[in-house]
Each structure stands twice: as structure tokens, then as C-alpha cells.
Copies of this chain bind each other. A is one copy, B any other.
């Protein structure tokens, strides 16, 4: 009973029900590593509160005992954002038991959802009410609303309705001083000063513990049209994107894949087949939806593709003839990460540049990487419409994975990030900073942004009690000047 964590548990024991305080190491173990097993932390204490009042009690007691708190939802962070540090100082604050749908108003298109609700459960609840929550991603069966808010998550469907930032109408959170911030009223206009809700979105749990959010719902999908296109270059893909955007406001996805991504999927993922008969250096997967049965999503797709073929902008195209075929097209896109893992180790980068600059960046950055790191093979794939691709550099065949990750990846990633900064881009488009990219963010700044981030962190959490070591620290790792 002498560690701060033990004192914290003892202090809270009279205030919380027994199941809200977990000290069983076997149970806690599941929360000590990220899902890709890149980061391992230590902790002897996990809280699983079921209400805002319990969260506040935990925050107040943790502040009194000086024990940092690491909030955790579905633990599906791509950047080690929910894994505690190895020193074992922190307690984990799991929001998984706060998983209620507090309210859903189909007419107003709003749902008030607790932080621990899993994304696919929200999808189901919205659909049952004749609505849709339009954000989706691979981890939808485990990712929680609190985590999605805290990372400003994106995904494959953000082209039309935006990232979480555009879909969150209000946030409820417990701040480091124990106060309860309630932004759930979902006012469409509210100009009472700085937008604290927007500040909490994407803050990775470093400014407040998000306990609930008011989310916007959109009309359910009445029909969709999914097409696969073969073309010569990212430039042609961008020109095609602009034609679609002029033709319809209902373009939901526009994903670009190089030939090698498709080849990797066909080679390693069972029961996949190429959508087109010919071979092409680049491919586009796109989706247009209809909100009402009266709308025909295929009409604009057919028109734009026919004209693009006539103009030789694209080489071939096919429209999914059934929902099963549409799902088969999407399965290719969603299997790229698994397929690439089967081809060997890679350095992965979630990056963005201005949409107009992306075609040139993809081509030039891949060539620069291949030249700088002989034997490796670089390519980008993903959300061209958002100016966001996942830029992967695959190790030379036969490379030892341990040596690759420990020695080469940091060098490769620094090289890629320098190219991104030179192109006016971001080293984190949608995955966040977490612990994985903190040093790179400090290295690449810019200093004005870093100073602003630190000023905000200091204002809300001067003792770094909330998710320490993630996103930004008050003291720079190395002096910046």
C-alpha cells in the first residue's frame, strides 16, 4: 500500500462500486499493449467507471495522488495513443462500460452517445431509426466513439461528410481540474467564445476525458453505385475526381491504388479476383450514394465514366452489377494492409498534402525513396479525394524484420516525413500523433504550432496527468530554437 497507484485505489474504494476498480493483472494485461503489439506499457490499476460522476471522482482522486490517467476505448490506436508508458506510473481509465445510447432523434438527425459505445453498434442503432452515421473504418467492430472523437478519426467515407470533426455536434468531457464540460446541447449556432468542443476533438485524451458526444446522423443510403477504374497515373485519377465532384454532390469515396497493391491482394487474400480484365498501372475505387429511392446513383457514374473513356482520360472501367460485386470491390481495398503484411515488413506513413499536390507527390516521393534506399519499394494508396494516402516503403526482400523495424524504419520515416513537410503536408493525416510520432512532430514543428500546442496543454493540464507522453509534452524532448 505504498505506491501512489495503491493509495489511489484505496482512496477510491469507498466511492466506487467494486467492478469499477480492477487490479487483477491478467485483466489489465489486455490493456497494456496496442493491437499491433508495437508498444508495451505497464500499469497495476485500471478503472472502469459507468457514469460521469464516477469519472469525476477518479479524476479528482488521481489529481490528489498525482497518478496520471491513460484513457482507453477500443484500444485500436494506430500510434500507441492508448498504451501507458513502461514506467507503470499511470492508471488506465477504460470508458468501455459507459456505452449507452442516451438519445436518438431521427428527425433532427442527432444522437447522444457515450464514449464507450462501439462504432458498429452506433451504425446499427442509426440504421434501426432509418438514419446513418456516415463515418466508417476497418476497426469499426472495436473502435469506440470516445476514441474516434479523441483522434478525429477519418476512414474511407469522409469525402462527402467529413471526419469526426465535422460529425460531432458537441462533446461532454471531464477536464483535468475535475470540472464537467457539457457541450452536448447540439446548438447549431453558438458564439459564446472559443470552441472548446473542437479543441477536445483530436486532443487524444490529453486535455479532457471525453465521456459522451452528440453526433450528426445523415439519411440512410437508399442505393449505391460502386465502380472500378483502370488508368495510367495519379494525375488522371485527380482529373477524374474533379469530373465526379462537378457531376454529383454524393461522391462518398474515391480511393486510389497502384498496381502492386492490387497484385498483393490477389496473391495473398483468398477468393479475390481482379475487377478488370486488363492490367493497368493505377486503379480507382469509387462510390456514389443516393439518399432517396427516387435518386439514381448510377446515372452520373455512367455518364462521367463514358465521357472519360471517350476522352482517353481512363483506360477501362466497370460498375458493380450487384451488391455482392460492390462488396467484392471494397474487399480488395480493405485487404491491402493484410496483403502487404504478407509480402514482408514495411514502413507505413499516414500522410496528407494538398489534394492538387498529391499526384506529383506520390510519383516523386516513391522515386526518391527507391533511389535513396536501394532494394526497397515505395508506393502510396488510399484517400486521394482527401489528399491523404498511406505511403508504405516495403523492405528489400530478405531483410530481417527486427533489424528493419529497429534500425531502418526510423531513417526511412524521417526521409518520408521531410518530403511531406517540403510538400506543405502533414505527417499525421488521420491516425494522430500518440507516442509513435511525437518526436517527429517535435522535430518538424513548425515551431509556432508546437508553441501553441504546448500553451493549450499547459492551460488545461499543467501537471500532465491526462495521457502523458502522447501528442505533446510540456518540456521539449530536445531544445527547439
Residues of A within 8 A of B (CB): 105, 107-108, 151-152, 154, 158, 163, 165-166, 175, 177, 179-182, 185-196, 198-199, 201-204, 207, 219, 242, 246-247, 249, 291-292, 352-356, 383, 385-388, 424-433, 441, 446-449, 451-453, 455-460, 471-472
Contact = CB atoms under 8 A, between A and B. Distances in A.
Contacts of A199: 194-195, 198-199, 456
Given A180-B448, A198-B199, A448-B182, A428 B352 contact: no
Contact of A203 (B107, B194, B388): B194
B189 A352 contact: yes
Contacts of A207: 194
A383 B195 CA distance: 21
B198 A198 contact: yes
Contacts of A452: 175, 181, 194, 196, 460
Nearest to A452: B196
Contacts of A385: 188
Q: How many identical chains are in the complex?
A: 2
Given A175-B448, A356-B107, A202 B195 contact: yes
18 contacts: A108-B356, A175-B451, A179-B447, A179-B448, A186-B354, A187-B424, A188-B386, A190-B426, A191-B428, A191-B430, A191-B433, A192-B426, A193-B433, A193-B471, A194-B452, A195-B199, A247-B292, A459-B459
A195, A201, A383 pick with most chain B CB within 10 angstroms: A195
Contacts of A457: 194
A191 B426 contact: yes
List 6 A-B pairs, minimum CB-CB distance, nearest first: A459-B459, A455-B459, A198-B198, A189-B429, A190-B426, A179-B448
A186 B472 CA distance: 22
Contacts of A108: 354-356
Contacts of A471: 193
Contact of A449 (B196, B386, B428, B472): B196
Contact of A431 (B191, B388, B446, B456): B191
Contacts of A192: 426-428, 433, 441, 449
Contact of A188 (B189, B191, B355, B431): B355
Contacts of A291: 249
Contacts of A179: 447-448, 451
A291 B182 CA distance: 38
A468 to B, nearest CB: 15
B354 A187 contact: yes
Nearest to A203: B194
Contact of A189 (B107, B426, B459, B460): B426
Contact of A190 (B196, B428, B446, B447): B428
A354 to B, nearest CB: 6
B352 A193 contact: no
Contacts of A292: 246-247
